Amino acid sequence: MTESKKKIIGIGEYIVDKNPTILVTLGLGSCVAVCLRDKKNLIGGLVHIMLPESRSSIKDEKIGKYADTGIKAIIDGIVDLGGNLKYVEAKIVGGAAMFKNSNNSLNVGSKNVEAVRKILKENDIKIIAEDTGGNRARSVEFNIANGDLKVKKVGGGEKVEITVI
Partner 1 sequence: MSIYDEINEQKLDALKELGNIGAGNAATAISTMLNKKIDITVPSTEIIPISELWKEFSDPEDVTAGSMVEIGGELHGAILFLLGTQETKKILELLMLPRPEDLTQIDEMTSSAIGEVGNIMCSSYISAISNFTGLNIHSLPPKITVDMLTAIVSESSLMVTEGSDFVILIRTDISIEEYEGNVKGFLIYLSDEKNIRKLLKTLGMGTNND
Active site residues: 31
- Classify 43 in phi/psi space as left (phi over 0), alpha (psi -120 to 50) or beta: beta
Question: For residue 141, what is the enclosing H or E element?
Answer: strand 138-143
What 3-state class would DSSP assign to 122?
Answer: helix
Closer to partner 1 at the Cβ: 79 or 133? 133
Kindly tell me which residue out of 13, 89, 114, 148 binds partner 1, with binding defined by CB under 8 A.
Answer: 13
SS3 content of the chain, % helix, strand, coil (to 5): 25, 40, 35
# residues contacting partner 1 (CB under 8 A): 36
Kindly indicate which of the ranges 26-34, 71-79, 84-92, 114-122 contains the residues binding partner 1, using the contact rule CB under 8 A: 26-34
Kindly tell me which residue out of 17, 29, 38, 46 binds partner 1, with binding defined by CB under 8 A.
Answer: 29
Cβ proximity of 25 and 33 under 8 Å: yes
Work out the number of other CB atoms within 10 angstroms of the CB of residue 150.
16
Scanning residues 96 to 155, which ones bind partner 1 (CB under 8 A)?
Answer: 98-102, 104-105, 108, 135-139, 152, 154-155
Q: What is the CA radius of gyration of the chain?
A: 15
Kindly tell me which residue out of 11, 81, 106, 128 binds partner 1, with binding defined by CB under 8 A.
Answer: 11
Kindly tell me which residue out of 16, 22, 43, 51 binds partner 1, with binding defined by CB under 8 A.
Answer: 51
Residue 10 in contact with partner 1, rule: CB under 8 A: yes
Contacts of residue 120, Cβ cutoff 8 Å, sequence gap at least 6: 34, 71, 90, 92, 126, 127
Closer to partner 1 at the Cβ: 10 or 82? 10
Give contact residues for partner 1 (rule: CB under 8 A): 8, 10-13, 26-31, 50-51, 62, 65, 98-102, 104-105, 108, 135-139, 152, 154-160
